[in-house]
Amino acid sequence: MRFSAFSIFREALRGNRGWTPQWREPQPKPHYDVIIVGGGGHGLATAYYLAKEFGVTNVAVLEKSWLGSGNIGRNTTIIRSNYLLPGNEPFYEMSMKLWEGLEQDFNYNAMVSQRGVLNLCHTDGQRDAFARRGNAMLMEGAGAELLDREGVRKFAPYLNFNHARFPILGGLLQKRGGTARHDAVAWGFGRGADMRGVDIIQNCEVTGIIRDESGAVTGVETSKGRIGCNKLGLAAAGHSSHVAQMAGLRLPIESHVLQAFVSEGLKPVIDSVITFGMGHFYISQSDKGGLVFGGDIDGYNSYARRGGLAMVEHVFEQGISMLPGLSRSKVLRAWGGVMDMSMDGSPIIDKTPIPNLYLNAGWCYGGFKATPASGFSFAHLLAKNESHPTARAMRLDRFERGYQVDETGNGPQPNLH
């Protein structure tokens, strides 16, 4: 259906009977050139770019639940490219550039909002580290501003400038960072892939990976039967280890739950994203008015999408200490998502040692912002059999070789989500 102000009005009067589904509900074909496991942001973006940029359209995305039911619909929507390391910063900046053109590219309103991301700093050491990070960002063209205490006060006057434990010394601001509407990102990529011939098959759980005598992957067992493929791409996020294990592959990944919270709708009060890394707390305000906030992962391994009370208490305690006004709002909802935490905090986009099996995993807390670049790079790998130039540091064998991309590993996160 084509949209115009008039057609939207007419549909409202006719009970919205003229709206058509945004993607088909196909039955699986016996065989595809490429099968992608996981209809989250990364799986759908991969399918979209495979079809659009690389002309590979005989593709299926297999999703065990409904499209967007995983972390793509559970995250706190922050996008940014404020990384330090050479293996990371160009990749996340590529993603930021793709975000900037995404809505035109897939012709869908993903509510990309470059409202600025401010990381607070509280010690001289942290400020030095932020200066270094800011320089790395400037060199990559990402833009960065180092604010002093007064600069932060001007930018976010509602913060607690008398914090006894973590006095605000300044902050690192990336004005191009911000938020995007997470589920619309899944829908936009899904619709764009479907329009180009990709089969998105929901309620289709992959239960096994089929290999021939030589060990090469030839297809998958699913809740809708056996489906063959030339190449199999895993993009199962929190269940990466579980799915890879079906092919006998053990990954350097642990699964943890990450929680988030949203308040009742309030008038506009926070017009950017603020991270208080020392307190493991970050916050923004949605366009509906809810304060959206969260903290760090629960520290135990889990596949449950429900976290513990200790982390709830910690997030609220730290949040209110830096943003006292938060104590006056009512929290509407809390939820969790399962994170595939890699051992160095960085993702994996690579071929695996098993022929025809490709891996996109280990996105930890930060995979939403990476969705476009991840999809583009994984599509490049699947189509051309070689890593995209900006994703070369994200090889699987880096753990064996000792070339880790250790940016958000253990310890207090200076730079949440």
Using CB under 6 A, list all residues that contact ligand FAD.
37-43, 62-65, 69-72, 74-78, 205-206, 235-239, 243, 258, 260, 294, 337, 363, 365-369, 417
Helices (H), 72-181: 89-106, 124-139, 149-155
**Smallest separation, CB 384 to ligand FAD (Å):** 21
The neighbour count for residue 43, using CB atoms within 10 Å, is 32
Q: Exposure pattern of 290-327 as b/e (b: 16+ CB <10 Å)? A: bbbbbbbbbeeebeebebbeebbebbbebbbbbbeebe
**Smallest separation, CB 406 to ligand FAD (Å):** 18
Q: Which is nearer to ligand FAD, 16 or 292 (CB)?
A: 292
Q: Which is nearer to ligand FAD, 2 or 84 (CB)?
A: 84
Q: Which is nearer to ligand FAD, 11 or 205 (CB)?
A: 205
**Smallest separation, CB 204 to ligand FAD (Å):** 7
Number of H helices, E strands in the chain: 10, 18
**Smallest separation, CB 76 to ligand FAD (Å):** 4
Total length of the chain: 417
**Smallest separation, CB 353 to ligand FAD (Å):** 21
**Smallest separation, CB 309 to ligand FAD (Å):** 16
Q: What is the identity of the amino acid at 372?
A: P
CB 282 within 8 A of CB 159: no
Q: Which is nearer to ligand FAD, 176 or 417 (CB)?
A: 417
**Smallest separation, CB 36 to ligand FAD (Å):** 9
**Smallest separation, CB 361 to ligand FAD (Å):** 9
Beta-carbon contacts of residue 101 (< 8 Å; ≥ 6 apart): none
**Smallest separation, CB 258 to ligand FAD (Å):** 4
* 205-214: Cβ within 8 A, 24+ apart: 205/62, 205/64, 206/37, 206/62, 206/64, 206/243, 206/246, 207/246, 208/246, 209/243, 209/246, 209/247, 209/357, 211/247, 211/354, 214/355
Residue matched to tokens 């366009």: 287
Q: Which is nearer to ligand FAD, 39 or 116 (CB)?
A: 39
Q: Which two tokens stand for residue 120?
A: 């607070």
Cα distances from 141 to residues 305, 306, 346, in angstroms, run 37, 39, 21
Q: Which two tokens stand for residue 240?
A: 């990466």
Q: Which is nearer to ligand FAD, 87 or 295 (CB)?
A: 295
Residue of closest CB approach to ligand FAD = 40
Q: Which is nearer to ligand FAD, 37 or 393 (CB)?
A: 37
Q: Which is nearer to ligand FAD, 149 or 314 (CB)?
A: 314
Q: Which of 23, 414, 2 is nearest to 198 (CA)?
A: 23
**Smallest separation, CB 366 to ligand FAD (Å):** 4
Q: What are phi and psi of 173, to 5 degrees?
A: -110, 130
Q: Which is nearer to ligand FAD, 144 or 258 (CB)?
A: 258
Q: Which is nearer to ligand FAD, 99 or 166 (CB)?
A: 99
Q: Which of 143, 182, 176, 192 is nearest to 376 (CA)?
A: 192
CB 303 within 8 A of CB 338: yes
- Rounded to whole angstroms, the Cα distance separating 7 from 272 reads 34
